Each structure stands twice: as C-alpha cells, then as structure tokens.
Structure 1
Amino acid sequence: MKIDGRGEAITLAALCVVAVVLFGLPLGLLVNVGVGNGPNLLVEALRDGSVQRAAWNSLESASLSALAATLAGTCLALTIGLTDVRGKGVVVFLLLLPMMIPPQVTAIAWVQALGPSSAVLKTLGVAPPPGSPHPLYTPFGVMLLLTVQHTPLVCLVVLAALRTLPREMMEAARLSGAGVFRVLRRVILPLISGSLVAGFMLAFVSAMGNFGILAILGIPARYTTLPVLIWRRLSSFGPSVLTDVAVISIILGVVALVAITLQRWLQRRMRAAVVGPPQLPLRIALGPMRPLAEGLLALYIAATLFLPLAALVATALVTTYGLPLNAQTFTLSNFAEVLFRQASTVRAFVNSTLTAGVAALFLAALSIAIAYFMSRRDGTHRRIGESLSALADVSYAIPGLVISIAFILAFIRPLPVLNISLYNTLWIILLAYVTAYMSIALKPVAAAYGQLDPALDDAARVSGAGFGLRMRRVFTPLMAPAAASGAILVFLTAYNEVTVSALLWSTGNETIGTSIFNFEDGGYTTLAAAMSCVTVVATVVIMAALDRIGRRLPPGVVPWRI
C-alpha cells in the first residue's frame, strides 16, 4: 500500500532528519576525529598499555557482574512471578529502587556503609579499625556494586517475559506429572531464553558504560576502566585530548556494538514461538517454604537497599565524616547547606526535572511515529522504520560518555545560519538524553503496535481518514499506555544519570548526578550524602506517585506494577 498523501512522507522525512542530526552527525564526527586520518591512531591506542588495561578491566567487570546480575535477577523474577509469595507489588517496588537510584549514590552509600569510617558501623561498635583498607576499593567491590545496580534491570526483563507465556503450557506439563523444577528446566527457561540473553546484554552494556560506580570505587582501587580513562584524558586538557578521547570512545563503542549484535544473533537462534494469548503465569504454592522465600527476599532487600541507605542517612546527619551518629554529632546543617545555601543544588534539581521531563515527552511522541512505520506492511517504509529502531538500539548500547563526546564534537561550534551555540547549555544535555534513551521509549510502543491488527489502519484509510487524523484518533490513543510506560522509564533513567551529562554540564547547567559526583570528588562527603538522600527521597516520591496513578491506568503503563 502506498503512502496516502504528503502527511506520511513529511513525517518520515522529519524522522530521518532527526536521526541524521541526533545520531548520524555526532557519531560520524566522532569516528572522523578518531580515524579520519587513517587507522594509525587507533592502532597506537590499542598498543597503549593503559588502554589495554582499561579495556580488559571493562570487559572483566562488565562480563562477571552481568553474569551475576542475570543469575540473581532471574532467581528473583522466578520467585516473584511464579510463586505465591505475598506483597509482590511492594517487593517489586523495593527491588527496582536500586536501579532508579543514581549509580554514584549507590557507590557513595555502600562506601559509607562498610568502610572504617561508617557512621552506622561505628554507632553499632563493629566498624573496622581506623586505617583499615576499605573492602569495596577492590575489583571485587566494583563488580559487586555493578551487580547490585543491574540485578533489578534483569529482574524487570524476566518478569515481562513471564507475563507473555501462555499458562496452558505450564499447566499441561504439571498435569503430565512434571515437578516444579522439571517444568522450570524443560518449559519455562527455554521459552524465556531470549529474554535471559537480553537481560545479560543489557546488564553488560550498562556496566561497560557505567561511570559513577567505576569512578568512585575504581579510582581508589586503581582499577581503571575505559569510561574513567576517557574522563581522565579529557581532564588533562592536552593538545590532542579530543583525538585521544575519540579513539578510546570508538573502542568502547565497538565493544558495545559487538555485544548488541551478538545479542540479536543469539535471540534469533533461541527464539521459540508460542501459541496462545499471554496470561497470568502459574502461582506455585510454596507451602511451608513460603516464609523462607519471603525471608530471603526481605534479607536481599535489606542488604542491597536499606543498609546502604541507612549509612547514607547517618553520614548526612553527622558534622564530620567518620564520626558515629549520636546526640553530640547529630546535625541538619548538611541538608540546610544543599537545600538552601547552595544555589547550584537547587538548580540541579530543576535542570534534571526539566531536561528529563521534556526528553521523556518528546521521545513518547517520537516513538509513536517511528513504531507506526515499523509496523507498516510496505517494505520500504518498514525498512526505514526498522533502521531508525536499530539506530536507537546502537545509541543505547554505546556508553553515555561516548555520546557526550560525540555531542561536544557536533555542537561545540555555533549552529549554521542560526549562529547559536548549544554547547554549555541545557539544550545539549536534553538532545543527548533524546539520543541515549530513545531505545527505552521505543521498545514498549513497538511491541504494542505488533499486537494491532493491520486491518485497523486499512479500515481508517477506506473511511477517508488521512495520516494526521489516523494518528490523532486511532493510533495515539491506542499507543498512549505503552508510550507512557516508556516515558516513565526514560524520565527516571535521565533524572538521576551522571554518565551522559558528566562532560556536558557547565556552571548554571548542573544536573543532580553531576552535583553529587562533584561533592564527593571534592572531598565534601557529608554534603554528597545529604544531596544523595534528597535525591533518593525525590525518586521514591516520584515512583510512589506514579504507582498510585497506575492503579487507575491500563496494565503496563507503570512498568513495575504486577
């Protein structure tokens, strides 16, 4: 079926222009700076000992932490999704909180929870002796926190996969006499194997590009990874700094691209077609084992969420880092400093809310348009839509620091004709968010389009509805829940991030993530803890409000509601 009028053609052309400006131009310039004069610079970088060590450390930490996160996240998802444990909504909400908390906050909280200067351990009288090496300033500590950060991501992916399984397949296996573990091994795990691969690769790519944890723990541990090496090289202000950084960024980007390509290949090989509509999965009665399962879930939540947060609060409430929390050391001055005396922190909350909110709304609208062309039966326009989707996947796979370097190269000069510079403004951070997180917004909308009957579009065309009317009256209302789900994830991800904005922020354009990192990097640990506490409270309030609103919305709008 051909395009009916100029509406579709103009929309498709506009989407292509957006893709060129936000994806093709920045990444193309990055590649040109790195290898535009030949592959010699890339070869030299690969021979550089510091680059080799950083590359190995990145691969090691990302691979092992992603494997551990996949195992832990799958176990959590199977327990929550297939058994009769109680309070599932609250459990899922608490399990996903570490993913929504900025990684640099996670790192600071754990450092303050387990070190010799821990206010909680000192208050309990079990702190290690002063001068003892911190247990997290090791490669193991880096991988442990990467695992904690990305386990909820894998859990969310596997839970979504469990919701798509026809219940009849599991019931048939049980009626045939198969035990729980046999059903799990022979039916459930094979059917969700593609989602397990997706979860592993998402955790791997996220760990490769993680900056907050790798900087706060890796630098003291002398465990330098590629993102930290990029940040250090850029901070050196040498004559060839952009070229060096571009070359290292290309190496990091190639690793991410290989990972996403391998993921797609494995998913095609493991794909298993199922027959029947998605239903609620089995609820396996645990019987006398239910209290044990619920106790283990509570213990995991306490260890990964409440212990570090308690240390964070205790550090924020003492006058000097390293003191135990008691009546003599208690103070609220750190909160007063970050909330009322430091103008930059207030600006950071406003800037993060504004940029994350606008990016989420823009991506929700953009994803509805792109996914429409992805669902078209017309070969040319479907291929263009799928190419835009692949470009979004590539941008998500590329670490945020690489995206920020590309945007510096693309927008450091004033825009042609307009003579306006986006560098050192919030606009460049906003556009970088759109580029980095488009895939998050697009996935649920594309899946929702895939469930629509193509005859719906044909019926609207036969009735004389043009492209604009069809989008306004038919597809946008139908896609709104899925678009809202993607927008929520984009907002929560961008609201607390530090990786993308670490190199793009400037005075007056601070974000929450960069403010916390700058406090910690400057030695103001108690202020960093106070700022982190406020950020956690803000994140919990936003998620709780969305959860409450989600009770009145269609299923799937709020991603963590089950």
Structure 2
Amino acid sequence: MLGLAWVLAYLALLGGVGRGLEALLMLSFYIPPFVTGMGLLFTFQSLGKPIYGVPGILLAWALHYTPLAYALLRPSLESVLPLLRAARAHGVVGIRRLRVLLPPLFPSLLSIGGVLYLALLGNFGVPAVLGLPAGVYTLPTLAYARLNSPLSQDQLGEAAALGLALGILALPALLLRPRPLLEAVPREALVLKPLFRLTFALYALLALLLSTWGLLREALLNPYTGGFEPAFWAALDLPLVQKGLGNSLLLAVGAAAGVTLLAMALRPFPRALRQLRATLDLHYTLPGTLLGLGLILLLASTPLYATVWLLLLAYLLHFASLALRSLEAGIGVEAKVVAARVHGLSLGRSWFRVGYPLLLPQARAAFFLVFPLAFSEITLSALLYAPGAETVGVAVLGALNAGLYREAAAVGLLLTLLSTLALFTLGGRRW
C-alpha cells in the first residue's frame, strides 16, 4: 500500500492532479470497508472467480486504505521534489534516485506505515465479509466469534484475551508519531505531464469500479433473467434493515452532534481541548475491537449493557477526536474574540457573537465528517449490539449470512451514496 501510494503521489505531483481527481480517488476510502469487501465479492463472482479468503482481504484493504496513505504521503513527497531535480541535474537517474528520496522521507513513511498497520490490525468489516465464509480469521473476527460462540465455556474471557493480544500488537505503532512536514514546493515550479495525470485517473476509476460494479449488478439486475429489477424496496422491507437504518440514523446524528457540541464548548479553552483530544486520540487510533471489549468488561454489570446507549457511548468515545481536531483548525478566532472584548463585550458574549459564528464552517465539517463514519460503523456495532439495537452494518452482515445478497448489495449502494455525498460536502468550496 505504501508503494502504491508513493506511485500515486508521484503521478499526482508531476501530472498536476487537482481536487476533482483526488476526490475520485478518496471516494474509495470513504466507502465503508465492509461495503468495499461486498463489492469485490460480487464483482469477482460475476466474473466466475470468487475471491474469498486472504487474496480478497488483501485486495479490499489495498483498495480501501491506499487513498489514506496517498493523502498522508503526498505533502511529504512534494517537499522533497527539489532534491529529485537536483539529483537529475547531477546525473542521478533511474533507481538510484531512491537513495536521494528515501532518507528525508523515512520518518514520514514510518509514521504512515504505523497508521496503516493500526487500521489493518483493527479492521473487522473486510475479514467478516471475505474471511469468515472461507474460515479465515483475524484477531477482530476471532474475538467476535468467541464472544458469540455458544460452545465457548468462557466467552468474555476468551474475547478479552484476544483483545489483550490485539493491544500488545498495536503498541509498537503507537510509538510512531507523525513528523512535521517540510514546506511544499510551489505547484507552478513543476513540469506537468498529462500522461501521469491520466494514469492516476485510470487507477482511481479502476479502484472505484472494482468496489461498485458488483454491487450495482447484484442490486439492479435479476440474477435469473438479467432484467432490470432493483432490490432497494425489497431490502427496505426487511425488518432487520428497517431497524438497523433507524438505529444507525439516531446513533450517527447523536454521536456527530454530541462530539461537535463538545468540541464547540471546549474551543474557548484551547489547552483543555488539546489535552482531551490527545487522550481521545487513542480511542480512535487503536482498533475498535479493543474499545468494544473494554466497554463490555467495564459495563457488563450496569444497566447500559445490551442497550443502544452503550453503542452511543462507544461512538462518542471513538469519534470525538475527529471533531476536536476539526475545531482546533479554527485559526485566528481568539484574536477576533480579544478584539471584541476590547470593545466592551464580555467573554461569553464575545464567543457567542464573534467566535462561534466564525467557527461554524469547522463545526459543519466536524458533523459531516463523523456522521457517515458513525452511520456505517460495524466493528463496535458487531460487538456491542443487542436484539432491538442492531445497526445497518449488522443488518447487512445478517442479510449476507442469510443469503439475501441482492438486498445486502442494495443497502451497500445506499451507504456508498451517503459516503459520496459526505465527501463532496466536506470538499465543497462553500465551507
């Protein structure tokens, strides 16, 4: 993934790739991972080549997480391009140029590798869709299986042991802190190559096609006649899907609104906001399986256990750091609040009349960043849901396990549409 992200970043810089093509690439990351897994499953089934097991998991992970690695790597690569031009001027060409690029990029590559390692270590959705049917387990899916196994003598103890192993494996990556980036080279200084831009676009389209073609074919066409017969209404008629959509909507709105309001309330106190965000970063960075198992161990004897409120608490803890980071991005607000106080307004009125209106773009971005992630969340939901508190991710897995492939694909397309709208909302110039 790092190598592929490197190639894409290089193509993007020398090809002059803009926000439109980058949004096309990032859409593969915004699509929920388990939906990407379903899309690959149906796409390759339509070609007569099932892709269960390790190959399917690796391909789904590559398609889903390469855009994340690209987004993190591109600024670092842009900062060292002057070294590449200097090396070319001194006759260093071909593979030897890596000796020039790698040393200054190594800290960033190490940090990005740690981010990818944690993301893959804790991913549940892709192995659940492509691994469990083939008997291929990862630690998150194994913990889920142990927790729900009627044959296990100590379900919670076995799941907790697996969670401990997951935490131990995650520790090395926590030591890889992000490194500050060098100043990027101005875009005008680059010699743009249209062929590189075309190659970048072809990869982005291919990745998106692999993830969505199977979903479209399965959800829109009758598998026996090949006629156009959308399965959306049949999917929405399923009681589990109805319950899952309703619960996910309430949980996503509650979580997104809750963490956004918390960030807004703490914004007048930057030090407290930074300290809380640094603490909550662990809840987002570490595998969600750890958070889910920890909440089960802590709250199994309380009234919160096996209710939708436990899921809401888990979502708030998991996604809070994203909203706090979004509100930290409001630069220069304090200076304007100070100016308002100089003109006679109290601290509270200064923030409500000057500070908070200026932070509304960041607050909207925080809400629409958290909402689609919470709506399609599956790792915490699979561990913490109870009868009556199912989410849409749990409903999709239930439909797949019951052989309702067309209905599962239809719901996956709806989640993909939601992710697309969220991406373009976040990327809109208006905000």
Question: Aligned partners of 2:100 and 2:256: how far apart in 1?
Answer: 37
- Are 1:367 and 2:263 counterparts? yes
- Are 1:285 and 2:198 counterparts? no
| Alignment counterpart, residue 218 of structure 1, candidates 131, 154, 175 | 131
How far residue 512 of structure 1 moved from its aligned partner, in angstroms, is 1.9
Q: Secondary structure at the match of 2:379?
A: coil
Q: CA 1:406–1:296 in 2, change beyond 3 Å: closer, same or farther?
A: same
8 Å contact kept, 2:43–2:211: yes
Alignment RMSD: 3.5
1:407 counterpart residue number:
295
Q: CA 1:477–1:173 in 2, change beyond 3 Å: closer, same or farther?
A: farther
Question: What pairs up with 1:66-105 in 2 under 5 angstroms?
Answer: 68=1, 70-81=2-13, 83-85=15-17, 88-105=18-35
- Are 1:523 and 2:400 counterparts? no
| Alignment counterpart, residue 312 of structure 1, candidates 215, 220, 231 | 215
Question: Aligned partners of 2:429 and 2:349: how far apart in 1?
Answer: 30
Q: CA 1:170–1:140 in 2, change beyond 3 Å: closer, same or farther?
A: closer
8 Å contact kept, 1:105–1:516: no
TM-score, normalised to structure 2, is 0.84
- Are 1:552 and 2:406 counterparts? no
Question: What pairs up with 1:375-524 in 2 under 5 angstroms?
Answer: 375=270, 382=271, 385-414=273-302, 421-446=303-328, 448=329, 451-452=331-332, 466-524=346-404
Question: What pairs up with 1:7-26 in 2 under 5 angstroms?
Answer: none
Alpha-carbon displacement from aligned partner over 1:324-360 (angstroms, at most 9, x marks no partner): xxxx232526322112x21332332333233222212
Letter in 2 for 1:91: L
How far residue 509 of structure 1 moved from its aligned partner, in angstroms, is 2.7
8 Å contact kept, 1:349–1:512: yes
2:59 counterpart residue number:
144
1:236 counterpart residue number:
149
2:232 counterpart residue number:
335
**Gaps in structure 2 of 5+ consecutive residues:** none
Alpha-carbon displacement from aligned partner over 1:515-546 (angstroms, at most 9, x marks no partner): 11111122222221222122223333444455
8 Å contact kept, 2:83–2:100: no
**Gaps in structure 1 of 5+ consecutive residues:** 1-67, 122-126, 129-133, 376-381, 415-420, 554-562
% identical equivalent positions:
30
How far residue 499 of structure 1 moved from its aligned partner, in angstroms, is 0.9
Question: Aligned partners of 2:365 and 2:173: how far apart in 1?
Answer: 26
8 Å contact kept, 2:260–2:323: yes
How far residue 432 of structure 1 moved from its aligned partner, in angstroms, is 1.0
Alpha-carbon displacement from aligned partner over 1:422-459 (angstroms, at most 9, x marks no partner): 3343322222111111222222333x25x549766666
- Are 1:106 and 2:36 counterparts? yes
143-152 or 477-486, which deviates more: 477-486
Q: Secondary structure at the match of 1:500?
A: helix
Question: Aligned partners of 2:84 and 2:9: how far apart in 1?
Answer: 20
How far residue 395 of structure 1 moved from its aligned partner, in angstroms, is 0.8
How far residue 226 of structure 1 moved from its aligned partner, in angstroms, is 0.7
Alpha-carbon displacement from aligned partner over 1:152-194 (angstroms, at most 9, x marks no partner): 212233456689x6xxx97899699959999x97998777665
TM-score, normalised to structure 1, is 0.66
Q: Secondary structure at the match of 1:219?
A: helix
Question: Which entry has the higher C-alpha Rg, 1 or 2?
Answer: 1
8 Å contact kept, 1:191–1:272: no
Alpha-carbon displacement from aligned partner over 1:348-381 (angstroms, at most 9, x marks no partner): 23332332222122222323444654x4xxxxxx
Question: Aligned partners of 2:308 and 2:72: how far apart in 1?
Answer: 32
**Number of residues of Structure 1 aligned to a counterpart in Structure 2:** 427
